Structure 1
């Protein structure tokens, strides 16, 4: 059912892109938009994961790294292929997954995440990222972001091109304002749906829904006060992270790429209650700024 709903949303986004092309160039514009969408999707399918990892300056870690061993155990629990594991030298505690399918996937954690959370919380966060891979969210969100970005780009072209000045004002408003807004709303709707699904998958894979809940509380607080330069330079990457950079708010919003942290935490607490006894220990207090990380790694960005 989730795949059917996502496919329908994706089809609606492509149709929106074609409609936008029709507003700008009639039937030939719609056909050109379809060709462009197919080309962008093909490029995103094969290259988006590499671009995302390069954008973040991610570096792959080997099988002897504690984080790699942790992810390997979780992947076995989930019955999934082992993804590549990366670290990002970034103070903001966060994590993301990318890749076109479970056989060609990667998970990445920031050095700040390893320093901010205890071991069980890190495990729950990485299980969340594996949940995205298992649910094939990574490909869906990459393609959605590609098309939504293209609609916004064409909107700017329509606004500033000389041809746009000769068009019907209503068409220009629809093309420049309404189409990109609708694309953003579809993208955000998919983002919010996938976060709840990945949280549920993480609870299943790690068996620690309350540890994920405590991790989300810590991460959302940290994201609101610790900058994320990559996300600030590239806002379209915000949907990749487990918590939105600059997280905040108390309610799910149409204009947010993520559900409100409080709602996700409540859902995880409900899962823990429905599965019997508490599956996780109480959350540790926020760790000191100095000392080893939860995985026994140094706090510097060199190998943390």
Structure 2
């Protein structure tokens, strides 16, 4: 329930801010007496598409802490926390990164990395993962998350999300305008968008949004292969990461909030794999195995 409330509140706050920005810039006035102003519509779409994506990225670390109940380790309270902090520190130094915040949270096996930049990042690991994996396997998972930060995956995926969001907003409203114009042909008295525009935009936002999700998730799956390769490099061998993935194959990964779900452990079978942010574990293991040949 807490996650749902946070998600709703965050989205409402983002939409409020973006609504104010588009009003102040005049980007929301893309309907004119002469028809559709494509320049203003593109500005509106870019503000909504990139603005929403980057605001979510900017708030990602804070929202992740709130929604998972993650506790940042300021001063290690036991040997496990000391080991966790030092492991992240070692991999960060090898990757040439500033020290990320390190957090631990109660839950089923999972881990994630998030943050707006390489210098403002967070690595969080669940108690379930620490309890069920060997130290070497857990190290490999941590190395994988640090590799995400080193690769700049959070910003890259945000840029991709911003681009596809912009196209969704733009194309949905162009199609809506064309459909509405067709339905109201010969009607010279009405002005502004009609019901045909509104219904079409809603439908197109949903359909184009689904197609956009497939594109974004494809890019997300490619970054997982890169992070696995980065973990193998940090560990000095692919074997620990392969062992960790095999271990994960026999576990039920813990659910993560939507804003960090692409950074954690997950996977969906069958055609739903198109909407998965992670490739099947078998493919990831095969990709790592090919590095040993």
Check whether TM > 0.5: yes
8 Å contact kept, 1:58–1:89: yes
Residue ranges of structure 1 left out of the alignment (5+ in a row): 1-20, 275-304
Q: Which has the larger radius of gyration?
A: 2
Q: How far apart are residue 239 of structure 1 and its match?
A: 1.1
1:125-164 matches, within 5 Å, as 125-142=141-158, 144=160
8 Å contact kept, 1:93–1:111: yes
8 Å contact kept, 1:98–1:139: no
SS of 2:197 mapped into structure 1: coil
Q: How far apart are residue 151 of structure 1 and its match?
A: 8.6
Q: How far apart are residue 206 of structure 1 and its match?
A: 1.3
Residue ranges of structure 2 left out of the alignment (5+ in a row): 1-28, 77-81, 177-192
Please point out which of 59, 76, 91 is paired with 1:47: 59
Please point out which of 241, 252, 261 is paired with 1:212: 241
CA deviation vs aligned residue, 1:144-185 (integer Å, no higher than 9, x gap): 557778998998xx9xxxx6732397x448613431122101
Instruction: Determine the structure 1 residue equivalent to 2:94.
Output: 77
Please point out which of 51, 54, 60 is paired with 2:72: 60
* Residues 136 and 147 of structure 1, relative CA distance in 2, 3 Å threshold: same
1:240-279 matches, within 5 Å, as 240-241=263-264, 243-244=265-266, 247-249=267-269, 253-271=273-291, 273-274=292-293
Measure the CA separation in 2 of the matches of 1:177 and 1:117.
Answer: 40
TM-score, length-scaled by structure 1: 0.66
Instruction: Determine the structure 2 residue equivalent to 1:188.
Output: 217
Q: How many residues align?
A: 237
* Residues 34 and 79 of structure 1, relative CA distance in 2, 3 Å threshold: closer
1:229-244 matches, within 5 Å, as 230-231=256-257, 234=258, 237-241=260-264, 243-244=265-266
Q: How far apart are residue 103 of structure 1 and its match?
A: 1.4
8 Å contact kept, 1:251–1:259: no
SS of 2:275 mapped into structure 1: coil
Measure the CA separation in 2 of the matches of 1:87 and 1:193.
Answer: 27
CA deviation vs aligned residue, 1:166-205 (integer Å, no higher than 9, x gap): 2397x44861343112210121011111000000000001
* Residues 120 and 41 of structure 1, relative CA distance in 2, 3 Å threshold: same
TM-score, length-scaled by structure 2: 0.69
SS of 1:93 mapped into structure 2: coil
